Structure 1
């Protein structure tokens, strides 16, 4: 209550004495009126009218005010740059960009001059420092900044500081603005763009930040040259299209650059971002913040309608790429634990609600985030929650296409009760992509059952490679053996070559989620290994004979020569039981010497059963079982990550690998079921045994594959998938063991 009285008292003083408030709607709409980018002059009036009556907004304001008051009390520090990510100077400048943005907003909302003075004083210190700076002393980056070791972080700084400058623009004198723009902002924008074309002239999340930085400061200063440079890139700039950057990407390869190109190329029509959800989350902030500025200052561009409104679509896609806890699936270079609680997703949710169709499910996510933006969109969220409009955000099975036109593969997510299957059949994913065609991961209630490793990096932890990518990201995390898919002859897909992988993509065979009891995604890859075709069909089945939905996995391989195939399952937990005998290695050795195999310790080996091999484990007090169709010619390998890792950069996670040698055409078929639970309090185990007694391949031809699943109570279910004609309208007639089957569509199940 004290805060509310304090705010209201400030309001009364501010509203009676503020000389900068517009006096008409025409003034409010004027491009010369500030603030105008994210927080608008009209938004300031609307927010002030609601203060003390919008709980989530008021609480956010209270926290931000306490944070910035403490920063003001501590004084300003603008150190000479010298560190990598995680180092003192890096962290200080990073904190400063956040503090400046928040202090500018507080000045507008609370009309307290101390915040404007703080912003001005810090900006003047940056002006004095910046004009003396050479390139950053750390030389690792392909595009060095001045405040930071890479232009990317310089761009981060300018995106946020542009908002601060917008908020205090009218507080500053014309001479002060001229000084800042001449000595700080324009040189800063020029260094990011003109001086660093290898960073700026690309289609990549780095360039998106650069485009947004240049464009936003251009919008504040009404500088059309900078705005156009942001939207369309630098014209008539000569670049070596064959020169690689340090991420493995090509510079200006297609002659496209600028903000609009960065919307056009990476996003599919469904809103999937080709670098994956981790980097989509990172890129969404500059995408949406600059788009908001363009919407407010240059509405004629209709930026939120560009490419059929893909920016707003992408937020829904991104939210659907998270598990039950809101953590993003770690596709490509993704750090586990990144979630929609990140500040970039607060921005995404608020902007999506305000500028989109006001999806009331977004309000439930905002409630979980427990904060809003202190701007027009945050006010809209706060009012929606206050007015009781909140509805759950429902995540259902979804297929997200990849590629600018939606024809370069995609990601299929099957959801049934607490089970989530993520099937990745996407394109390479730019420089952050992994060699993992037709890979999958499996979740139960937000917990990993079968994991994707993600990236090999400790972001912003200076002791681990300066917080940057570790060499093991290339030697392990990107390699195919690090993923749950087929590896042929111990060689990664596309031989681990970015240039080759970027030319190809899998193709969707079919996706079906209409039947709530059986959901299927199937895709084909023909280029990962020349002469070999991979067709993988993954199913989530809800069957009354089993306690929970289970996964059926069918990987069909057709090759023009005999190969060795490895098929890993990266599980978590404690081995409980197998129906095969295994021999533990007395001395650990590596599984191979290259393509990621050098990072696996071989712990045990086994000869597979003729029929079915079963493997059970315990994790998070739940029981899991893999049942896989095998012959006695197959081998089973127990392995663990961590070999050839002298600095302990890799997690010591286990894997079970099914190995099949000297086969041309073959079929891997498995089920994974979650069953029962264990209570460490009562020390009781419930339903600890598998409910599937047998898994049979009853037919495998060029046209059809049929799998029979027999439960412990003797019930039989048959799943048939069409390997060629898989449209919803296709009619099929098939005879198996004197039984005839007829159906319409891609699959049969009964």
Structure 2
């Protein structure tokens, strides 16, 4: 019996040693031993990969020549110490990759030396001296940036793991990596234990270093959150949003909750872009080290679906639509999208459209996925990424509204009927923005922040983000009684969302999106229908906007249009004040200068403007009681934090039930070189509401040549099977489906 037990113990020990050895193979996180062999075999024969490698080598060599600097942290975003530590994390990750691919020890030594400097500093490093964050880091002013650092440095550590001695590894893991992971998780549960892009970075950081260290406790903490921990339901983050999500936390919860089945991320494309890197790079690590999790199949493969959704949430230039808190100009040229495109191609269905984006990015990851993309490009497999009209649902089950995008002849309508969008959400239900060839025609303001520019609020959100950018009047949607939707309160807004009424892109000649909002203002229902219509006689498709309002009380309604460009002409008179004053006192109105006030003497109000060599005309159905107001952003903004951009507001006082109808035309062109204006006038003679009832709204659009087209929307039954019969001006109209147009 003793002999048997001894033999069994020896056998078990042998198995454990073998398992431990296999589990500790490095690199295995993003780069793998087998992958490195394949990469080395292809070097010099795959142009896009070789170019990316050479660019990276030049960048890292330049940093190595400068020497290592790990300063004591003291700055906010944009300050020297912040930027230096951020730069260090990226260069360490890149140097680790170069060591593996080029087998040059100078890169491993650089990573080793820097890690040991961080180990020496971190042992006695207190919390960051800046106290602004709800969760302070140590290297950075917030745990979020500390998590960024560990996500990148985990990859570097994996690449140089075997270069380091066992004693060096133990020192780093005991004094740097494990304490670092503990600080951003168990020491900072208000940051880590929730569903938010911040905690996604935290989960990925803890999980990736756990994978490299083969630390099951850290891996489980990353996947499932901190066991047994209950959050304070009253806790709030930096943006004022409640952070408790009924106990759900960890990486898997952060996949389940924010993503809809279509891959839409509830915070919007700007933050989806930011979160995609930790989502995908950790997923790639899990795929390589723990393939049994089948992470890319989790929630019906939503991580890969989300990449397609995100790419479709960009304009013709690749810039992401600035829904919610979003900085304009962020695009799929960002490094996070290089990661997304490469991983999507390699782990997905190898969509050749992704290769065309990779060609534009002119960069690939230096791993298996990047090599696959580069080979695909080399072999001529690239095809254009075809952006079509698309409806993306919101909410974990796709039942919390969404975003509808209509595309036709270089025109793009972005119609937002989504949920609140977590703490980064704006109060702008049924709002829209409009683009032509990637240029804004009617804009969404985006965020009020100068990201990583220290001189502007330390690079963080400015107070005007709450007082202006998040408020309803900052968007192209209805404002009732100068109050924001849901009273501008997160806890109310997070409980409600609009409902999709109709999305139909089956007919290229007329595409429609329609949604209903009943909770933005108690007792008021807003039903907005927007259609892009291609019609003979018009140079470009028309945008038809029907906003039907029903209320149980009399109200004042404002409908703004934030047009981009220089006013050319109007068909109404207005007075320009000699002294500028804000048009209101709060809810964003305090930031709008009143630049002109007029009224309509016609049944239609026309406003034409010129922007980037194109003419646009807004034709709106109005009455003589309507106030027409020109406004400009920038009042009560002594530090010039807001852009000085123009808007036009149609104000309707003492109204209960009402319908706003507008048509926007893109027409003609102007060349400053030839000084030639072509087709600069509107082709619309008039727009009339010829029927407006509970069940139907009918709009007649008459051209300057006196041809008339009739659009009828069924307001109460949008099913394809429904049959309708309507009499207008003694003429019967019959059709099946949600709308009629002829």
Same fold (TM over 0.5): yes
Q: Corresponding residue for 1:127?
A: 119
Which of 303, 309, 315 is the matching residue for 1:323?
315
**Alpha-carbon distance in 2 for matches of 1:347, 1:440:** 30
Q: Corresponding residue for 2:631?
A: 639
Alignment partner of 1:384 is 2:347: no
Alignment partner of 1:361 is 2:353: yes
**Alpha-carbon distance in 1 for matches of 2:452, 2:117:** 25
CA apart distance, 1:734: 1.5
Alignment partner of 1:730 is 2:722: yes
Q: Corresponding residue for 1:693?
A: 685
Which of 513, 521, 538 is the matching residue for 2:513?
521
Aligned 8 A contact 1:28 1:42 in 2 = no
Alignment partner of 1:291 is 2:283: yes
Aligned 8 A contact 2:582 2:635 in 1 = yes
**Alpha-carbon distance in 1 for matches of 2:104, 2:212:** 21
Alignment partner of 1:744 is 2:736: yes
Q: CA RMSD in A?
A: 1.1
CA offsets 1:339-370 (integer angstroms, 9 cap, x no match): 00000000000000000000000000000000
> Which range moved further: 448-457 or 231-240?
231-240
Q: Corresponding residue for 2:4?
A: none
CA apart distance, 1:247: 1.7
The within-5 A match list for 1:419-458 is 419-458=411-450
CA apart distance, 1:447: 0.2
CA apart distance, 1:251: 2.9
CA apart distance, 1:31: 2.8
Alignment partner of 1:506 is 2:498: yes
CA offsets 1:143-174 (integer angstroms, 9 cap, x no match): 00000000000000000000000000111111
CA apart distance, 1:281: 0.1
Which of 136, 144, 149 is the matching residue for 2:136?
144
Which of 703, 706, 717 is the matching residue for 1:711?
703
The within-5 A match list for 1:54-133 is 54-133=46-125
The within-5 A match list for 1:580-591 is 580-591=572-583
Alignment partner of 1:462 is 2:482: no
Runs of 4+ residues deviating >6 angstroms: 26-29
TM-score under structure 1 length normalisation: 0.96
Q: Corresponding residue for 1:309?
A: 301
Corresponding pairs, count? 725
Q: Corresponding residue for 1:215?
A: 207
Which of 166, 174, 190 is the matching residue for 1:174?
166
Helix, strand or coil at the partner of 1:371? coil
Unaligned stretches of 5+ in structure 1?
1-25
CA offsets 1:114-158 (integer angstroms, 9 cap, x no match): 100000000000000111100000000000000000000000000
CA offsets 1:489-523 (integer angstroms, 9 cap, x no match): 00000010110000000000000001001000000
Aligned 8 A contact 1:361 1:392 in 2 = yes
Which of 569, 575, 579 is the matching residue for 2:571?
579
CA apart distance, 1:252: 2.6
Aligned 8 A contact 2:257 2:396 in 1 = yes
Helix, strand or coil at the partner of 1:586? coil
Aligned 8 A contact 1:27 1:33 in 2 = no
Alignment partner of 1:398 is 2:376: no
CA offsets 1:523-580 (integer angstroms, 9 cap, x no match): 0000000000000000001111100111000000000011000000001111110010
**Alpha-carbon distance in 2 for matches of 1:265, 1:608:** 48
CA apart distance, 1:29: 11
Which of 331, 337, 342 is the matching residue for 1:339?
331
**Alpha-carbon distance in 2 for matches of 1:30, 1:129:** 32
Aligned 8 A contact 1:28 1:41 in 2 = no
Helix, strand or coil at the partner of 1:565? strand
Q: Corresponding residue for 2:222?
A: 230
**Alpha-carbon distance in 1 for matches of 2:50, 2:231:** 50
CA apart distance, 1:28: 14
Helix, strand or coil at the partner of 2:221? helix
Q: Corresponding residue for 2:525?
A: 533
Q: Corresponding residue for 1:667?
A: 659
Which of 236, 245, 253 is the matching residue for 2:245?
253
Alignment partner of 1:197 is 2:197: no
Alignment partner of 1:476 is 2:468: yes
Aligned 8 A contact 1:324 1:446 in 2 = yes
CA apart distance, 1:715: 1.2
Helix, strand or coil at the partner of 1:735? strand
**Alpha-carbon distance in 2 for matches of 1:731, 1:248:** 48
**Alpha-carbon distance in 1 for matches of 2:171, 2:21:** 27
Unaligned stretches of 5+ in structure 2?
1-17
CA apart distance, 1:742: 1.5
CA apart distance, 1:27: 11
CA apart distance, 1:56: 0.4
CA offsets 1:292-347 (integer angstroms, 9 cap, x no match): 00011001101000000000000000000000000000000000000000000000
**Alpha-carbon distance in 1 for matches of 2:374, 2:679:** 46
Helix, strand or coil at the partner of 2:399? coil
**Alpha-carbon distance in 2 for matches of 1:744, 1:165:** 64
